[in-house]
Amino acid sequence: MSRINDRIIKTEYSEVMQKSYIDYAMSVIIARALPDARDGLKPVQRRTLYDMYELGIRYDRPYRKSARIVGDTMGKYHPHGDSSIYEALVVMSQDFKKGLPLVDGHGNFGNIEGDGAAAMRYTEARLQKITQEAFLADLDKDVVDFIPNFDETEKEPSVLPVKIPNLLVNGSEGIAVGMATNIPPHNLAEVIDAMKAYMLDSNITTRELMRYVKGPDFPTGGIVINEDDLLEIYETGVGKIKLRGKVEVEKAKGGRTNLVITEIPYTMIGANIGKFLMDVASLAETRKTQDIVDITNQSSKEGIRIVIELRRDADVENFKNLLYKKTRLEDTFGVNMLAISEGRPETMGLKQILKANVDFQFEVATRKYKNLLARELERREIQEGLIKACNVIDLIIEILRGSKDRAMAKSCLVEGKVEGIRFKSRESKIMAAQLMFTEKQANAILDMRLYKLIGLEIEALINEHEETMANIYRYEDILDRRDSMAQVIMNELDEIKEEYQRARRTRITTAGEAVYVEKKAEEMDVVFLMDRFGYARTIDMAAYERNREAAEMESKYLFVCKNTGKVCLFTNTGQLHTFKVTDLPFGKFRDKGVPVDNVSNYDSAKESIVYAASQSDLNLYRMIFVTKQAMLKMVDGGEFDVAKRTVAATKLQENDEVLSVAAYKEQRNIVLQSREGYFLRFAIEEIPEKKKGAIGVRGMKLGAKDELEAVYYTRNAVEQSIEYGKKPLELNKIKAGKRDGKGVKIRV
């Protein structure tokens, strides 16, 4: 018995991980995420279509439950979960995602606005006619290789014999490991014309091919606005296509104008339509524009229709440019034409994709016509044997009647063996010995029925033989001459184009960048209100005066500012965050505000606001900074007039944070209160002025574990008291000291 150590294989862990990851990555790249350049299909799509073909779910037969298709595909060919199979089935049926849908879906298969398909147990599907005719038609002619499925109990095609460049027609998108593909759909007729042009001249340039393929043709229409960039994109296989939705202007009642979006960018399909509506509403809420009266989504099965009602005096073109700049009505489609070519991922240009498809068509056609030729040659052999047999039918009948069994008769027909056969005459025996039929001919003769001897049947046999000879001549010509095969392929392409072509939906043009001229808002005073939860808004002065008491009671920060100005937020981490007043909603007093987190870089989860003011007010004063470690300084407010949204307002020592920021106005004394009950009052003049990048000076000597807890300011001859230890404490009566003193202990 061998020891267990003899069966232990020692290896480097990093090598095992590296090999395993590479195997996994290649599996995802080749067998799941990327399409094949020849048929333009991912494995899950190919397997689903082939399974529907095997189940006989043809375009002219009844629909079958999607769950039946998904279950059969998963059990036979694609063991990666039912959700991925059903999703592939759904996408292949959606005419707003595919330029040429391959599946005919019956039931709720989702919509362009992002609503998902119904569960697979409710929906039904069958093949589209073009899928059957152009994707699966010749599978019975041994035109592609069949490989074992995952458990080697079934055979599946390694590629479908697709007759069109489906990779271009339907496009593809997928994320693999370390790479991704994103191929836009194109117009079927244009792609077929380009493929024919390449077949006629393999030296054709990409620029010449683009006389046929104008550019992408998205199912959602829209406008490609960077026509000048398309040549480089189709040369290299990578680039960015700029898309715009189609906008029409309609006159509405009351002299108003409606902007109607009838086509959207392909990238807006799904939830992005809802986001677009929210973005347009946000433009009105944040007062980026005041031209919007209302927005409604009137889209239906007939198509997209999003209506934006504008004010009478709106500048329509300027507003359109605003939509292009601030929403996804203008978007970018990142092209990366990555596909599996000859077993490896490759980024391909337009010409390379067409070459891969043309080479594949010739390969398929060669296998197809070799197979057909072999069948016709076999048929000719049998036909010639039957014709020859009809000429000596009496002798054959005599052989059959004189033979003891089928084997004896067959030996006579094939080899001329006459031993053991009873003949009526010596002449018959001599003639029988001269017979030289082939094996197949002999079997056909022995299987022949008597009605075949009728004159009309013999005449039909001769006609059939002539037809077979014509087919043999035609097939040999196709196989021997590349021009003949090319003509056959082009004829098939013409038939497909004739039946399934449609007009181009996407317009290709060159347009400059959208230029939006922002209207200058009329400058006025507004009141900034922010509650203790960090929700901020602005109201006009009249609304504030009517609700002054409630506003002051409910607001943590309240000040008057210009609607064209900025708001500054100082935080305990020493940061200054700024944002435009126009970023806040402006309206009625009881309208809800927005979190300042949404309009600035302030993060309420990591920092807290210690002071808020308008930037114009800061320019008028010096700002007093106090930290928990009792570091003080005064900074000219003009230093905080910055363009950046976030800057450091002060420098802090380790483990320190800002406790208070205040504008120096009429204060005369500052009172520092420590957590351990020490109070220090001294004149503000003792606080030196520093730059915002300085730490400052010490304001109070603190114990080892003590820190400042509160900061108060007093004015001369003005009494001010606080509650301390549930008793009133008059701040002006605290013994005056000097900066950097220990202060006095106030007993509770």
Positions marked active-site: 122
Contact 169, 188 (CB under 8 A): yes
Residue 364 is encoded by which pair of tokens?
A: 């398929």
Contact 440, 385 (CB under 8 A): yes
* Residues 343, 94: Cα–Cα separation, whole Å: 29
Sheet with 708-714: list strands edge to edge.
708-714, 669-674, 678-683, 744-745
Within 10 A of 457 (CB to CB), how many other CB atoms are there?
A: 15
Please tell me what DSSP assigns to residue 303. Answer: B
* Residues 138, 475: Cα–Cα separation, whole Å: 16
Residues 6+ apart with CB under 8 A from 131: 49, 59, 102, 103
Indicate the SS3 state at residue 250.
Answer: strand
- The helix or strand, by DSSP H or E, that contains position 554, with its residue range, turns out to be helix 548-554
Please tell me what DSSP assigns to residue 692. Answer: T
* Residues 488, 372: Cα–Cα separation, whole Å: 14
Indicate the SS3 state at residue 596.
Answer: helix
Partnered with residue 238 across adjacent β-strands are 336
Residues 6+ apart with CB under 8 A from 113: 270, 273, 274, 297, 299
CA atoms within 13 A on the CB side of 357: 31
Contact 613, 528 (CB under 8 A): no
DSSP characters for 204-230? Answer: --HHHHTTT--S---TT--EE-BGGGH
Pairing of strands 172-175, 257-263: unpaired
Q: Could you tell me where the DSSP H helices lie in 574-684?
A: 596-599, 615-618
Pick the closest to residue 423 from 403, 448, 451 (CA basis).
403
Q: What are phi and psi of 266, to 5 degrees?
A: -55, -30
CA angle 408, 412, 415 (to 5 degrees): 120
Amino acid identity of 698?
R
End-to-end Cα distance, the chain: 86
Residues 6+ apart with CB under 8 A from 225: 242, 243, 244, 330, 509, 510, 511
